[in-house]
Structures are given as structure tokens and as C-alpha cells.
Amino acid sequence: MKILVCISHVPDTTSKINFTESDTKFDTNGVQFVINPNDEFGLTRAMWFKEKQGASVTVVNVGTADTEPTLRKALAIGADAAVRINTVAKDGISVAKELTQIVKDGSYDLVIAGRESIDYNGGMVPGMLAGLTNANFVNNCISLEIEGTTVTAIREIDGGKETVNTSLPLVIGGQKGLVEESDLRIPNMRGIMMARKKPLTVVEPIGAAASNNAVKFEKPAEKGAVKLVASDNIDELINLLHNEAKVI
């Protein structure tokens, strides 16, 4: 089984976010980048298929050279090879089209993507990729078992979970539950050294055009000052809730 894991290069959630050029560009200065958490769950599950079923695992990213450390980390975790599509990730549809070419050229049986990235939270790429490659699709996937070409998956739905039986080729949008956080792997020294020798192929983009663009970024408004009320001053609390907060 050939597995392709889509990897997004995203800011660590602890990084301080700023914008430049009149709030039209994201300022990367001082920002630590990591593997998108939903993608990391998928990569860890792919490692299980590699170790238990002899699958081959390739990771892919749409991005410029500054994303290569993230791909190298994925190789250190255990992926066999990496591919970088040499273009800026513009929007969901252009990324999906660029990935489609890789999927078709590599004849992958299973494509694991995160259900969304934590930077833009678009949640569009996995479904678009499945449509463009004529593959089956399971989103919000929290469990995945494969026997031959037969697939049993569990996905989260409103109010519960749903078990789905399908077949390869398949694209999934994975998330926490596909593996648990305790199962995530930290690259060890041996993995880091081996990653240096694994192939990281850079391919030129097909030139998929973006369908939208970001005009301006805005940070959430700062929270107002907090008013503290003594625990025995119920009248003042009611007054504030009624006249200032206007919630009662």
C-alpha cells in the first residue's frame, strides 16, 4: 500500500502573531513553525500501517524552501520520502489541484490529510482532493482500519460517531482520535540522522490559479477591563449584569 500524507507548515500556537504592510502580510519574524497537528495525527497513523502492514509512506507539502525543516521532521519521524511542491500555498483549491498531480503521478492508494490546518482553518483541501482524484472520502476521521482494499473508518458527526465501510483509493481528513496525543512521536537522534539521507524531491508547480486572496488581516479586539465584585455584594452584581453587560 502506498500512502501519501499531506503536511501543512503552520505557526506554533504559542507564537505571537503580527502582520506587516498595512496588515496585508503575515509577519514570520520570530515565529516557530511546526507540523499541522491534524496532519501529525495522520502521519502517526501512517507509521502504524508502515510498521504493521509494510506500507510505504511519502509526505508532501505545498510551499517554498522554508517549509523543508518541517518535511525533514516528518522524515525523522519515519516517513520514507518527501515531496515539496515549489510554490506558495495560495488557497484551498489551488493547493488541492497541486496535490492532485502528485497523487496521480504516484498512484497512491491512501491519502491522509488533516481535516483542517490551524492557520486558516479552511477545511477544504481533503474533500477537493478526493473529488479531483475520483477517490472515496471520509472526513473528520477518528479511526481507520484497512485490510487489502477494504476500509473501515469511524468519523465524528453531529451528536455522535458514524462507522463507514469503503474501499481504496481513499482520501481522509484526519484529526485527534485517529491516534491519541500520547501516541505522537518525537524524532530521536537516529531518526534525525537517517532523515538527512532520505530523498526530499522538489517539483515545480502546475501553476494552479488561486480563486481568492486575503485582502487584510485583523486581530481579535482586546478584551475590556474586568470588574471584580465582592461575593456578598449581590445587588451590585445584578446591577452590572443588567445595566452594563445587558445579559439580564
Over residues 164-179, the mean pLDDT reads 97
pTM: 0.87
Instruction: List the one residue out of 49, 190, 70 whose CA is nearest residue 59.
Output: 70
Is the pLDDT at 99 greater than 90, yes or no?
A: yes
pLDDT digit string (tens) for 182-204? 999 999 999 999 999 999 999 99
* Burial per residue of 29-54, b for 16 or more beta-carbon CB atoms within 10 angstroms, e otherwise: eeeebbbbbbbbbbbbbbbebbeeee
The predicted structure's pLDDT at residue 79: 97
Three-state DSSP string of the chain: CEEEEECCEEECCCCCCEEECCCCEEECCCCCEEECHHHHHHHHHHHHHHHHHCCEEEEEEECCHHHHHHHHHHHHHCCCEEEEECCCCCCHHHHHHHHHHHHHHHCCCEEEEECCCCCCCCCCHHHHHHHHHCCEEEEEEEEEEEECCEEEEEEEECCEEEEEEEECCEEEEECCCCCCHHHCCCCCHHHHHHHCCCCEEEECCCCCCCCCCCCCCCCCCCCCCCCCCCCCCHHHHHHHHHHCCCCC
Category of 214 on φ-ψ map: left (φ > 0), alpha (ψ -120 to 50) or beta? beta
The predicted structure's pLDDT at residue 223: 81
Distance CA 81, CA 72 (A): 9
Over residues 38-62, the mean pLDDT reads 97
- Look-up of cell digits 451590585: 236
The predicted structure's pLDDT at residue 212: 85
- Residue 167 binned pLDDT confidence (cut-offs 50, 70, 90): very high
- Residue 67 binned pLDDT confidence (cut-offs 50, 70, 90): very high
- Residue 14 binned pLDDT confidence (cut-offs 50, 70, 90): confident
Q: How far is CA 44 from CA 57, 94, 162, 175, in A?
A: 11, 26, 22, 11
The predicted structure's pLDDT at residue 41: 97
- Residue 13 binned pLDDT confidence (cut-offs 50, 70, 90): confident
> What's the mean pLDDT when you consider all of the chain?
94
Over residues 71-99, the mean pLDDT reads 96
Is the pLDDT at 17 greater than 90, yes or no?
A: no
Residues 79 and 57: beta-carbon distance below 8 Å: yes
The predicted structure's pLDDT at residue 121: 87
The predicted structure's pLDDT at residue 220: 84
pLDDT digit string (tens) for 200-235? 999 999 999 988 888 898 888 888 788 899 999 999
